[in-house]
């Protein structure tokens, strides 16, 4: 259907007494997302845009896009955007926030950007307690460059550079950077969410909303990790990738709040925060 047909159809439904329950927010542009079919990036973009729309902060939001799959995020958000050098989004966001304290500043990064090359910037921005929101999309792989091993790749998980599965002796352990950041005093809100089911999407949206609202409090970094699929990198269909993610990613990256209002959330095992939580070995 062409755009005009869609608008016509929507108008017809409204004339027939239907009310609109859901439509794509205007904070996202009409550009077609370049992501692979079924990628969690698209959903996460939409959630961030919806939160910006609902809070009415479109004209005072500045985003920082990373290098990675989401490098062209600036094409899709109808808000001010900056493109950072690889991994340096938190440093750029620091500058933007300090120069424009009234703006809502968020970084949008993947695991290769935030947890590998940008580790120093990430940790120091969090440790300084910069008053920004960080959205971290973790799919356990370098998606854009062809599915190489990332710091977050699970033990035993096959990737382009670990064809026999990630071997701890050779490649080390997966980095749970979200737990690591929760131990820093500068973070105010740290949570891990996912976007594979309607229920998960609603929770993730509430978390992103809280992360943006926290900027008004000036208490420190609000960090939202979204565990996502990478169906092309994992060589699966989108639906199978979501299922695999639930079975294998979630035991290693448990979903839920880790730090709320500057305090470790209830029910969080202290062992998990010092990274001695047992990792499961996957076979794919």
Binding residues for another protein, rule: CB under 8 A, are 1-3, 6, 9-10, 13-14, 16-25, 28, 32-33, 35-43, 46, 195-198, 201-202, 231, 237-239, 242
Residues 6+ apart with CB under 8 A from 103: 60, 61, 62, 96, 97
CB 139 → another protein: shortest distance, Å? 13
Of 192 and 205, the one with the shorter C-beta distance to another protein is 205
| Minimum distance from residue 117 beta carbon to another protein (Å) | 26
The enclosing H or E element of 44 equals helix 40-55
Residues 6+ apart with CB under 8 A from 112: 68, 142, 145, 150, 151
CB 151 within 8 A of CB 160: no
Least separation, in Å, of the C-beta of 22 and another protein? Answer: 4
Nearest approach in angstroms of CB 57 to another protein is 20
Pick 37 or 185: Cβ nearer another protein: 37
- Alpha-carbon distances of 114 from 134, 173, 176, 223, rounded to whole Å: 10, 17, 12, 11
Distance of alpha carbon 10 from alpha carbon 201, whole angstroms: 24
Nearer to another protein, 180 or 230 (CB): 230
Q: Is the CB of 122 or the CB of 242 nearer to another protein?
A: 242
Spell 230-261 as b/e; 16+ CB within 10 A means b: bbbbbebebeebbebbbebbeebbbbebbbee
Tell the smallest beta-carbon distance from residue 228 to another protein (Å): 10
Measured from the CB atom, the residue of 29 and 148 that comes closer to another protein is: 29
- Pick between residue 36 and residue 85 the one whose CB is nearest to another protein: 36
Write down the least CB distance from residue 135 to another protein, Å.
Answer: 15
The CA-based angle 75-76-80, given to 5 degrees, is 70
d(CA 270, CA 268): 6
């Amino acid at each position: 259907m062409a755009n005009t047909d869609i608008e016509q159809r929507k108008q017809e439904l409204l004339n027939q007494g239907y009310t609109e329950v859901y439509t794509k927010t205007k904070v996202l542009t009409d550009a077609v997302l370049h992501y692979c079919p079924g990628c969690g990036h698209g959903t996460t973009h939409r959630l961030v845009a919806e939160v910006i729309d609902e809070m009415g902060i479109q004209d005072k939001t500045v985003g920082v896009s990373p290098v990675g799959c989401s490098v062209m995020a600036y094409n899709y958000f109808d808000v001010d955007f900056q493109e950072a050098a690889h991994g340096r989004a938190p440093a750029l966001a620091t500058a933007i926030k300090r120069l424009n304290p009234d703006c809502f500043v968020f970084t949008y990064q993947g695991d290769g950007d935030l947890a590998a090359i940008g580790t120093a910037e990430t940790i120091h921005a969090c440790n300084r307690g910069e008053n920004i929101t960080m959205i971290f999309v973790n799919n356990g792989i370098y998606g854009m460059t062809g599915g190489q091993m990332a710091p977050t790749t699970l033990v035993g998980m096959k990737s382009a550079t670990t064809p026999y599965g990630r071997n701890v002796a050779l490649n080390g352990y997966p980095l749970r950077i979200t737990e690591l950041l929760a131990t820093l005093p500068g973070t105010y809100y740290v949570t891990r969410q996912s976007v594979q089911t309607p229920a998960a999407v609603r929770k993730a949206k509430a978390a992103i909303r809280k992360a943006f609202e926290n900027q008004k409090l000036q208490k420190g970094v609000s960090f939202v990790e979204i565990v996502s699929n990478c169906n092309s990198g994992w060589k699966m269909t989108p639906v199978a990738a979501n299922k695999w993610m639930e079975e294998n990613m979630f035991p290693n990256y448990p979903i839920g709040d880790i730090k709320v209002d500057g305090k470790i959330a209830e029910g969080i095992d202290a062992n998990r925060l010092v990274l001695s939580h047992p990792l499961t070995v996957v076979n794919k």
